[in-house]
Amino acid sequence: MKILKYILAFLFGAFAGLFIYLDLAAILFRDPPVWFVLTSFFGGWGLTTYWVLRGTKTLSEMLARSFLVSAILSFGFAPATLFLATKSVDTGGSDAEVIGSLIGGGLVSGFGITISLLFTFLSLVGYGLVKLFNRENRVPDSNLVACDFCAEPVRKAAKKCRHCGEFLQSVKSETSEALEERGLER
Ligand SMILES: [Zn+2]
């Protein structure tokens, strides 16, 4: 599974690099020069791939981080295209030219916002799915206690252990009664 993690991080990096390039180019340039396209795209690709791999141990951790980055980058594409559209409006020319550039700018921003929201939505869905899928293998946290029968982590509110099928409520209340008798808080 290690290989899969690297391949997916690499592919995701390319996607992120594209959005980094588009976001920056829309804000910084009207006609982005080639050096900028190459630097921002490949730089963004490399940096993102490195960052989503760094500090993430499992494939699902890496995917969750990738989807979050992807949500932020694609969300940023909406204001970036709006900005690009206002920049492309040419107020110096004739009326026809101004109207033309307004329509053009409107189309660019409408298209950009649609793309932006679509990818933001898909990224958040992806993030949610990874988190949901991963809940099964989650490390015990403060909402979990060890089952009295099989020692597997179960929710505090659970009445029945999902690992061994034992009923937990009676044991739990006996335990807390016993603690109360001894004057201890659980
Ligand atoms: Zn159990």
Query: Among 74, 89, 162, which residue's Cα sits nearest to residue 120?
Result: 74
How does the average pLDDT of the chain come out, rounded?
82
Q: How far is the CA of 140 from the centre of ligand 1 (A)?
A: 14
Mean pLDDT of 149-167: 86
Tell me, in angstroms, the distance from the centre of ligand 1 to residue 168's CA. Answer: 8
Question: Residue 41, class by beta-carbon neighbours within 10 Å (0-12 exposed, 13-18 middle, 19+ buried)?
Answer: buried
Range of weakest confidence among 65-74, 135-144, 149-158: 135-144
Residue 113's H or E segment, with its range, is: helix 95-134
Distance 178 CA to ligand 1 centre (A): 21
| 133 CA to centre of ligand 1 in angstroms | 21
Q: Is the backbone of residue 139 left (phi > 0), alpha (psi -120 to 50) or beta?
A: beta
Ligand 1 centroid to Cα of residue 172, in Å, is: 13
Using one digit for the tens of pLDDT, what is the confidence trace for 110-135? Answer: 888 898 999 999 999 999 999 888 77
Q: Give mean pLDDT, residues 64-79.
A: 91
CB 186 within 8 A of CB 177: no
C-alpha of residue 45 to centroid of ligand 1, in Å: 46
153 CA from centroid of ligand 1 (Å) = 8
For residues 21-49, average pLDDT: 90
Q: Pick the residue with more confidence: 116 or 29?
A: 116
